[in-house]
Structure 1
Amino acid sequence: MIVIGYNGFTRGAEVFRRLWGVEGVDRHNVLGHDAAVAVLVDGELVAAVEEERLNREKKTSAFPMNAMRWCLERAGIAFEDVDAVAFPWQFSADAVRTMISEACDVSQTPEEMFQYIDNLDQAYTELLCRRAIREDFARRTGYDLPDDKLVLVPHHLAHLMCGYYFGGGEDTAFLVSDGRGEQHSSVMGEIRAGRIRLFDEQTINAGHSLGLLFGEITRYLGFVPNNDEYKVMGLSAYGAAPADNRLIGEVVRLREDGTYEMTTLVDDPQGARPHYPVLDRIFDGSEETRQRFTYRATVAAAAQHMIEEVTAHQLRALQARTDLRRLTFEGGLALNCVNNTKLLEGSRFTDVQVSFGASDPGVAIGAAVYAAHTPGRRCAPATPSPYLGPDFDDAQIRAALDDRAGRVWWRELAPGEIADETARLLCGRAVVGWFQGRTEYGPRALGNRSILANPAFADIKDIINARVKHREPFRPFAPVVLEERAQEIFDMGKKRVSPYMTFVFPVRPEFQDRIPGACHVDGTARIQTVNDEQNPELCALLRAFTTRSGVPCLINTSFNVAGEPIVSSPADALDCFLKTEIDHLVLGPFLVGKNQ
């Protein structure tokens, strides 16, 4: 069975801008952001890539035509070969009724309510209904998708199935939490023998979304909502949540049944910002104080504490309803890796699985898995891997180098030289671009499109933030470490591996002075573990580097600058290399430097 899963819509941003004035930073909230395509052949994921890697527009919501074209070519198929096309949104009659009733519950004039309902009608007709999705697909691909081949998948179930697939297809309890799906923001339940059971009583609707509230606090602190929440998480380590965190109680109220509610709806159809005055009141804030680092760190710490307390509250309810010992956590909130570790350690679950596609890039994969899934049959890849996107042969790399011949020099390394020569360069304060194999999927660079550096230098974080990434100085960097050594260096608690940078662990005291560049201000690190089966090239480099330097890990950050997608092609890598102060680039077998 061949299934395509995809996310994205041609005119989504345009329609939301016309109807609700959603533009600028708000465009990241529109339907279908993180557009992507995935192809599943007989249960095996053979190709997947995010559209942003190809069209170079970060978090694009556009129809993923470039990604579609590449995935079909990689899989060696045509549209006529495909059994199903899965789309990770399903605006059912019930979902639409809920949206209309919620609009009528807010404090609006009759004219405002009718205007909203009219806007919703236009959005449904132009974007959300089955006919609109098929027409958009045909308009962009030239293929008239038969109606019986289109599978509309509820958004949160698409999230769930991505995690279930990469978690091995085993029985699992689950929590999915994000900004919003069609009508909900959080669901929980369990999967047994492939059958999904939702605990409806613990479902949270979109108007009381913890993810959207965290997004509003992200905006309040001067960042981009639905994009920069991880900055708030990083910033929180510089502050301390008040002993009596008034966000819990005055903004979020916990209920005894494991659910919660917002005192003011965050999914406001008029785009108002009702929490700004509330936050100012709670934290004694103003336009002036919001610019102060200490103030922002305090608010960030309170917001992080709120996330941890509310999701732990949910987890207690989930534990009371299931005897399963394994948890799958997906959705945008599952990218809060500080929270993930605390959820695991504070629960009776023996493991928590968070995939590399936990946020919206994963729903293209999850939708495909949902469409191909048969209850009772184990659905999982033979070897889970995030390396699903384009790769490039030596001839393609040479062509990109030749195009920039006046600006760079290069020499080809023998296969046995690549790791050792790169390790030699990394023993100093050099910053190295590392481009190998297939492009990673998801928001994290996992060793194929990475910027690497030596964590033994305390100032290396400042060097990379200022000279390379062009981003905020408080931002930490993650270390990549051989799986076989990870527990020696990091206190991993119940975890044994963390291959996708989705958990944070304390750096053991005896290593904090040895890898200061990889330690956050609170002594923790968001690690990536790697083994030879997952990424042999990166493992070879880590061993060569440790042998030369005695340092047991490397800093690994995404190969991009602030505001741009992670590089995908050799041309992308060279252009990023040339406009930053990256010292060296290892591009496949080629060591590249800059001409003076």
Structure 2
Amino acid sequence: MIVLGYNGFTRGAELFGRLYGATGVGRNLLVGHDAAAALVIDGEVVAAVEEERLSRVKKTSDFPAQAIRWCLDSAGVDLDQVDVFAFPWRFSSAVAEEMIAKICDAELPVAAKFDSLRRTGELYTGMLARDAVYSDFVQRTGYRLDPNKLALVPHHLAHLMCGAYLAGGGDAAFLVSDGRAETLSAVMGELRDGVVKRFDEGTVDMASSLGVAYGRITRYLGFVPNNDEYKVMGLAAYGPPPQHNPLLERVVRLHEGGSYTISVPPDVQEYCALFDGIFGGDSEKREEFDFRVKVAGLAQHMVEAVTAHQLRALTAVSGLDTLLFEGGLALNCVANTKMLERSSFTDMEVSFGASDPGVAIGAAVYTAGLRNRPADAVTTPYLGPSYGEGRILDALEAYGDRVEWQREPDAASVAGRTAELLAEKNVVGWFQGRAEFGPRALGSRSILASPAFPDIKDIINLRVKHREPFRPFAPVVLESEAPRVFEMGKKTSSPYMTFVFPVRKEYQERIPGACHVDGTARVQTVDERQNPELAALLGAFTALTDVPCLLNTSFNVAGEPIVCSPRDALDCFLATEIDYLVIDRFVVTKREGPGKMT
């Protein structure tokens, strides 16, 4: 059976912009962001890529035409051969009726209700309804599929199925929490014997979305919502944990069963005024580092308090040992670790597709009727495009007036030579194999450096990534070495940078570049089966330097998607002060002259 999952709407940006003013920073309101496609053949995910990697438009919500075409071409499959097309949104008639009822029951003037109904109706008929989804596919692909082959999967169910499949199946309690699905923002329940049971008392309406509230504080601090929340999470570590949190008194109300209500007005000026009153701020204070740290700490504490409330309710009704956590909130790796360590769960899984790229995978595996992965399948995020030596040489020759290169004879030589470069305080662009799927660079399209140098974070932030100096970097370490360097708690591995761990005291001075201001690190563990090239490099680097890990950050600059192709990598390499580019077996340097940065 062949199933294609995809996420994205052609008219999303147009309709949300015209009807709701969702332009510029306000584009966080769009549904369908992180557009992507994934292909499942006979029970296995064989290809997946985000549209942004190919279109080069960061966090695009557009119909993923290029991603669909690449997935099919990579597997040698035609559209005629696809059995089901799975889409991770299901705005059914019942959902539409609920949307209408909420508008009619709202405390609004009659004229405002009619205006809201008009806009919602245009959005529904032009984008969200089944007929609109079908027409979008036909118009963008030129392929008139059988309407019976189009399967609409509820958004939160797609999130859950992505996490369940990538965790290997099996029984688990689950929590899905994000900005919004069709009408909800959070659900919890159990997955037993492949059957999903949702605990209705733990559901949260999208009007009380924790993700949206965190995003509004993100914007209040001058960052981009639905994009820069990790900056707020990173800032929070610069201050002590709050002793008192006014957000939990004036914004959040916790209820029985794990639900809650959050009261933040949707209008930017209104919620900025609300937050000024809560935090004692104004437009000038919002620019001050200490004020930002205070607000970020309160926002982070709010997330941790609310998710702890959800887990208390979940553990009270579920006796299962494992927790699946998916949705955009699952990218808050600081909260994830605290959730696990303070709960009765023995393990917690957060997939590499936890945020909206993963719903393309989730919709596909759900529609394919999969309960578990094939027994011999390796759970891998490396599902995107790869490039043969011919394509790489073509790209290098196209930039031949600006770069020069040397081909290493084999993989061991690549690892050894790269380890030598990294030991000398060089910053290296690392481009190997298939591109990783999801928002994290996991060692296929990465920028690497040695964490042994105290100033390495400043060098990368300012001279390479062109971003704020307070941003931390993730260490990547062999899974077998991780417990020696980090206090892993209940976790034995963390392959997708979704958990934060304290750096053991004896290593904090040895890897200062990997330590955040609070002595923690967002760790990625690697083993030879999942990523043999990166594992070999780590082994060679450790043998050479006795430093057990490397810094790993995404191969891009601020505002750009992670690189995908050799040409993308060369463009980024030449536009930054990255010292070397290692692309497959080629070690690339910049020629002296205009192309050489000083």
Q: TM-score range by the shorter chain?
A: over 0.9
- Tell me how far apart the structure 1 counterparts of residues 196 and 152 of structure 2 sit (CA, whole Å): 17
State the secondary structure of the residue aligned to 1:161.
Answer: helix
2:401 to 400, 406, 423: 406
Matched, 1:289 2:285: yes
- Tell me how far apart the structure 2 counterparts of residues 318 and 548 of structure 1 sit (CA, whole Å): 47
1:583 to 574, 579, 591: 579
Corresponding residue of 2:137: 137
Partner AA of 2:406 in structure 1 = R
1:424 to 406, 420, 424: 420
Residues 165 and 379, structure 1, Cα contact 8 Å, conserved in 2: no
Residues 242 and 301, structure 2, Cα contact 8 Å, conserved in 1: no
Partner AA of 1:546 in structure 2 = T
Question: Which digits, 9 at most, give the CA deviation of each residue in 1:325-348, with x for residues without a partner?
Answer: 100000000000000000000000
- Tell me how far apart the structure 2 counterparts of residues 164 and 380 of structure 1 sit (CA, whole Å): 14
Corresponding residue of 1:313: 309
1:329-368 alignment to 2 at 5 Å?
A: 329-368=325-364
1:382 to 370, 377, 383: 377
Shift in alpha-carbon separation, 1:374–1:535, aligned structure 2, 3 A? closer
Residues 172 and 327, structure 1, Cα contact 8 Å, conserved in 2: yes
Corresponding residue of 1:128: 128
- Tell me how far apart the structure 1 counterparts of residues 61 and 376 of structure 2 sit (CA, whole Å): 28
* Cα shift at 1:240: 3.0
Corresponding residue of 1:514: 510
Residues 169 and 379, structure 1, Cα contact 8 Å, conserved in 2: no
* Cα shift at 1:100: 2.3
- Tell me how far apart the structure 2 counterparts of residues 192 and 256 of structure 1 sit (CA, whole Å): 24
1:211-360 alignment to 2 at 5 Å?
A: 211-264=211-264, 268=266, 271-360=267-356
With 407-416 and 94-103 compared, the bigger mean Cα shift is at: 94-103
With 363-372 and 272-281 compared, the bigger mean Cα shift is at: 272-281
Task: Count residues with an aligned counterpart.
Answer: 591
Question: Which digits, 9 at most, give the CA deviation of each residue in 1:142-201, with x for residues without a partner?
Answer: 111211111101000000000000000111100000000000000000111100111111
Structure 1 unaligned spans of 5+: none
Question: Which digits, 9 at most, give the CA deviation of each residue in 1:449-484, with x for residues without a partner?
Answer: 000000000100000000000000000000000000
Corresponding residue of 1:533: 529
- Tell me how far apart the structure 2 counterparts of residues 587 and 73 of structure 1 sit (CA, whole Å): 23
- Tell me how far apart the structure 2 counterparts of residues 555 and 126 of structure 1 sit (CA, whole Å): 46
* Cα shift at 1:379: 6.8
Residues 373 and 379, structure 1, Cα contact 8 Å, conserved in 2: no
- Tell me how far apart the structure 1 counterparts of residues 209 and 100 of structure 2 sit (CA, whole Å): 17
- Tell me how far apart the structure 2 counterparts of residues 73 and 258 of structure 1 sit (CA, whole Å): 45
With 29-38 and 177-186 compared, the bigger mean Cα shift is at: 29-38
Corresponding residue of 1:548: 544
With 238-247 and 166-175 compared, the bigger mean Cα shift is at: 238-247
* Cα shift at 1:273: 4.9
Corresponding residue of 1:395: 390
- Tell me how far apart the structure 2 counterparts of residues 469 and 542 of structure 1 sit (CA, whole Å): 23
- Tell me how far apart the structure 2 counterparts of residues 347 and 273 of structure 1 sit (CA, whole Å): 38
Partner AA of 1:295 in structure 2 = F
1:446 to 442, 446, 452: 442
Residues 166 and 381, structure 1, Cα contact 8 Å, conserved in 2: no
Corresponding residue of 2:81: 81
With 13-22 and 443-452 compared, the bigger mean Cα shift is at: 13-22
Partner AA of 1:226 in structure 2 = N
* Cα shift at 1:374: 5.2
* Cα shift at 1:9: 1.1
RMSD in angstroms over aligned alpha carbons? Answer: 1.2
- Tell me how far apart the structure 2 counterparts of residues 303 and 243 of structure 1 sit (CA, whole Å): 13
Give the TM-score of the pair, scaled to structure 1: 0.98
- Tell me how far apart the structure 2 counterparts of residues 428 and 196 of structure 1 sit (CA, whole Å): 52
* Cα shift at 1:274: 3.6
Residue identity (%) = 61
1:373 to 365, 369, 373: 369
Corresponding residue of 2:596: none
* Cα shift at 1:109: 2.2
Partner AA of 2:397 in structure 1 = D
Residues 43 and 380, structure 1, Cα contact 8 Å, conserved in 2: no
* Cα shift at 1:381: 7.2
Partner AA of 2:566 in structure 1 = P
- Tell me how far apart the structure 1 counterparts of residues 370 and 465 of structure 2 sit (CA, whole Å): 44
* Cα shift at 1:417: 1.1
Residues 44 and 373, structure 2, Cα contact 8 Å, conserved in 1: no
Give the TM-score of the pair, scaled to structure 2: 0.97
- Tell me how far apart the structure 2 counterparts of residues 587 and 327 of structure 1 sit (CA, whole Å): 38
With 253-262 and 473-482 compared, the bigger mean Cα shift is at: 253-262
Residues 241 and 298, structure 1, Cα contact 8 Å, conserved in 2: no
* Cα shift at 1:372: 0.8
Partner AA of 1:384 in structure 2 = T
Partner AA of 1:496 in structure 2 = T
* Cα shift at 1:29: 2.4
Shift in alpha-carbon separation, 1:433–1:513, aligned structure 2, 3 A? same
Partner AA of 1:225 in structure 2 = P
State the secondary structure of the residue aligned to 1:466.
Answer: helix
Matched, 1:173 2:173: yes
* Cα shift at 1:241: 4.3
1:464 to 460, 476, 487: 460
- Tell me how far apart the structure 2 counterparts of residues 407 and 529 of structure 1 sit (CA, whole Å): 35
Question: Which digits, 9 at most, give the CA deviation of each residue in 1:418-439, with x for residues without a partner?
Answer: 0000000000221000000000
Residues 168 and 381, structure 1, Cα contact 8 Å, conserved in 2: no
* Cα shift at 1:263: 3.0
Residues 433 and 452, structure 1, Cα contact 8 Å, conserved in 2: yes
With 254-263 and 476-485 compared, the bigger mean Cα shift is at: 254-263
Partner AA of 1:521 in structure 2 = V
Question: Which digits, 9 at most, give the CA deviation of each residue in 1:339-371, with x for residues without a partner?
Answer: 000000000000000000000000000010110
Residues 411 and 592, structure 1, Cα contact 8 Å, conserved in 2: yes
State the secondary structure of the residue aligned to 2:261.
Answer: strand
Question: Which digits, 9 at most, give the CA deviation of each residue in 1:266-320, with x for residues without a partner?
Answer: 5x4xx55543222111111001110100000000001001100100000000001
- Tell me how far apart the structure 2 counterparts of residues 242 and 566 of structure 1 sit (CA, whole Å): 35
* Cα shift at 1:25: 1.5
Partner AA of 2:384 in structure 1 = G
With 276-285 and 477-486 compared, the bigger mean Cα shift is at: 276-285
* Cα shift at 1:508: 0.2
* Cα shift at 1:106: 4.0
Partner AA of 2:543 in structure 1 = T
Partner AA of 1:456 in structure 2 = A
Structure 2 unaligned spans of 5+: 593-598
Question: Which digits, 9 at most, give the CA deviation of each residue in 1:376-423, with x for residues without a partner?
Answer: x66777110000000000110000001000000111111131000000
Partner AA of 1:382 in structure 2 = A
Corresponding residue of 1:486: 482
Question: Which digits, 9 at most, give the CA deviation of each residue in 1:501-553, with x for residues without a partner?
Answer: 00000000000000000000000000000000011111111111111111100
With 192-201 and 365-374 compared, the bigger mean Cα shift is at: 365-374
* Cα shift at 1:112: 1.6
Shift in alpha-carbon separation, 1:381–1:135, aligned structure 2, 3 A? farther
- Tell me how far apart the structure 2 counterparts of residues 6 and 463 of structure 1 sit (CA, whole Å): 38
1:40-55 alignment to 2 at 5 Å?
A: 40-55=40-55
State the secondary structure of the residue aligned to 1:180.
Answer: coil
* Cα shift at 1:107: 4.0
